[in-house]
Amino acid sequence: MADSVTVTTTRSWGQRLKSALAGLILGPIFIAGSLWGLSYNESRSADVITSVAEARKVVVESPSTVVTPGYDGKFVHMIGPITGGPLVDALFSVAVTWAVLYRNVEMYQWKESSTSSTHENMGGSETTTTTYSYKKVWSTDMIDSSSFHEKVWHVNPSSWRYASETKKAPLVKVGAYELQSTLVDYLPVEAPVSLDAKKLLLTSGAILQWNEIYIGNNPASPEIGDMRIGFTHIPDETLISLLSEQKWNTIIPPVNQKFAHTTRLEIGERTAEAMFESILTENDWMTWVFRGLGLLVLFIGWSMFFSLLPILGKFIPLLGTIIGFGTGLIAFILTLFLGGGTIIIAWFVVRPLYSIIGIGVIIVLVLGAWKIFKKEPTSLSASTDTNLSSGI
């Protein structure tokens, strides 16, 4: 069976009309959802900025070598080595003395991708040609082949013999302080575990290859369903820097919610100020990503809402294209003004000056656009009057 399949389908004008009518319902849902998402994103971003500002005022430097009772309940910055306890992966008899042990399982599977091209037909129908391509990949996630277009020759296993797993040491410490279990999840480093074939518990069909446990016939020529399993860990004595709350001899997530966004663990020796800047940089990046996604969903919502108009003109492809361009332009303008307005209004929470400037810019743009559209008919009328006078 070829690893690509091409399919051609045609939708009638009536079918397209039904889809466009559905857009009248789904469009407003997308619009409302995107506006809520944009507002929430600005609120989340403002919370992070406020949280960092508050934490900067109160953070204290706490030495990791000894417990300092005077810092009980304080938001602290600490640098120290991390240590763990005995950990065992019973399935493969991997025993270590570290803070965290990760079992990473991958399966060789089929993955589907598709490309499509569509052209309009006289009478309002459209013809779409779609090519479905299939390739074999290693993936840590189960790929459901039941949703593939071609399901007979491209079938993935529906279950996994082994699953990925994370094991945490019962007691993880940073210097003299215990690290609460939930904070262990913030640890960012993973180093490969060197596996010894003599110590491993290998099941039938499993071999050690390239520091991974391979389950299959031939690692050099994998087949669908083959698995490879590797182990990573956080080595003892790894130096980390952290921002969180000190509760006697334990580092815990901040009880005060205004510091909820400033909990952070990083590898290496990092100052509190550098860690705060990292939080703000990541927040800026996330804010712009979600702004972009929100505006995209808003544009899709408006496009769905107006999709009926170009469909009505699709009996003549060029007419439908012209109407579609017009509705797309309107959707784009509405997205910019409504989406931008939502973002600017949300700025009032922490950036009132910026929001006032932004609203002022929008007002200027609206007034400018209004004057341009208002002058065009007047200019046309004046030109017509001049021509008539010249003819007389």
- The CA distance from 105 to 163, in Å, is 6
Q: Which amino acid is at 27?
A: G
DSSP class per residue in 259-293:
GGGG-EEEES---HHHHHHHHHHHHHHHHHHHHHH
The two three-digit tokens of residue 290, written as one number: 């979600």
280 occurs within a structural domain:
no
Same domain, 311 and 256: no
Judged against a pLDDT cut of 80, whether residue 354 lies above it is answered with: no
What pLDDT is stored for residue 392 in this prediction?
A: 43
Distance CA 282, CA 285 (A): 5
Looking at residue 53, the DSSP 8-state letter turns out to be H
The per-residue pLDDT for range 5-42, each reduced to its tens digit, is: 999 999 888 888 888 898 899 999 999 999 999 999 99
pLDDT at 311 (0 to 100): 82
Among 109-123, 138-152, 177-191, 282-296, which is the least confidently predicted range? 177-191
Tell me, yes or no, whether 113 lies in a domain.
yes
Q: Which residue has the tokens 């210097």?
A: 175
Domain boundary pick from 245, 270, 295 = 270
> pLDDT category, 388, cuts 50, 70, 90?
very low
Residue ending a domain, choose from 239, 270, 301: 270
- Residue 360 predicted with pLDDT over 80: no
264 burial via Cβ count (<10 Å: 0-12, 13-18, 19+): buried
Residue 119: burial class (beta carbons within 10 Å; 0-12, 13-18, 19+): exposed
Same domain, 247 and 292: no
Is 139 in the same domain as 255? yes
Task: Report if residue 151 sits inside a domain.
Answer: yes
Residue 372 belongs to what domain range?
Answer: 9-48+285-391
* Same-domain check for residues 17 and 64: no
Torsion of CA 9, 13, 16, 21, to 10 degrees: -170
Q: What is the pLDDT of residue 276?
A: 96
Residues 217 and 258 in one domain: yes
In this predicted structure, which of 43-52, 301-310, 376-385 has the lowest mean pLDDT?
376-385
pLDDT tier at 369, thresholds 50, 70, 90: low
Both 378 and 252 in one domain: the answer is: no
Q: Is residue 383 pLDDT above 60, yes or no?
A: no
Contact 227, 215 (CB under 8 A): yes
User: Residue 87's CB: how many other CB atoms inside 10 A?
Assistant: 18
How many domains, in total, are found in the chain?
A: 2
Angle at 188 between CA 184 and CA 190, to 5 degrees: 100
User: How far apart, in whole angstroms, are the C-alpha atoms of residue 327 and residue 64?
Assistant: 62
Region for residue 204 given its phi and psi (left: phi exceeds 0; alpha: psi -120 to 50; beta: otherwise): beta
What CA dihedral angle connects 201, 206, 207 and 208, to 10 degrees?
-60
Say whether pLDDT at 381 is over 60: no
Identify the pLDDT of residue 351: 66
Residues 317 and 208 in one domain: no
Q: What pLDDT score does 349 carry? A: 61
The three-class DSSP label of residue 187 is coil
Comparison of pLDDT for 280 and 309, the residue scoring more: 280
In angstroms, the CA 319 to CA 323 distance is 6
Q: Does the structure show a pLDDT above 90 at 294?
A: yes
Tell me what the pLDDT averaged over the chain comes to: 87
In this structure, the answer to whether residues 146 and 262 fall within a common structural domain is yes
Q: Which of 28-37, 114-123, 228-237, 346-355 has the highest mean pLDDT?
A: 28-37
Confidence category of residue 310, pLDDT binned at 50, 70, 90: confident
Residue 1: inside a domain, yes or no? no
What is the percentage of the chain residues whose pLDDT exceeds 90? 57
pLDDT above 70: percentage of residues in the chain: 90
pLDDT band at 2 (very low <50, low <70, confident <90, very high): low
Whether 203 shows a pLDDT value over 60: the answer reads: yes
Mark whether 187 and 265 lie in a shared domain.
yes
**Shared domain check, 66 and 105:** yes
| pLDDT exceeds cutoff 70 at 363 | yes
Q: Specify the higher pLDDT residue, 52 or 369.
A: 52
245 and 374 belong to one structural domain:
no
For residue 341, pLDDT over 90 is answered with no
Structure tokens at 193: 């575990």
Q: What is the pLDDT of residues 157-200, one digit of tens each?
A: 999 999 999 998 889 999 999 999 889 888 876 788 999 888 89
278 found inside a domain: no
From 270, 304, 322, give the residue that closes a domain: 270
In a domain, 275, yes or no: no
Is 98 inside a domain boundary? yes
Residue 174 and residue 132 share a domain:
yes
- Cα–Cα dist 176/261, whole Å: 25
Amino acid at 92: F
C-beta pairs of 59-63 under 8 Å, 24+ apart in sequence: 59/243, 59/272, 61/272, 62/246, 63/175
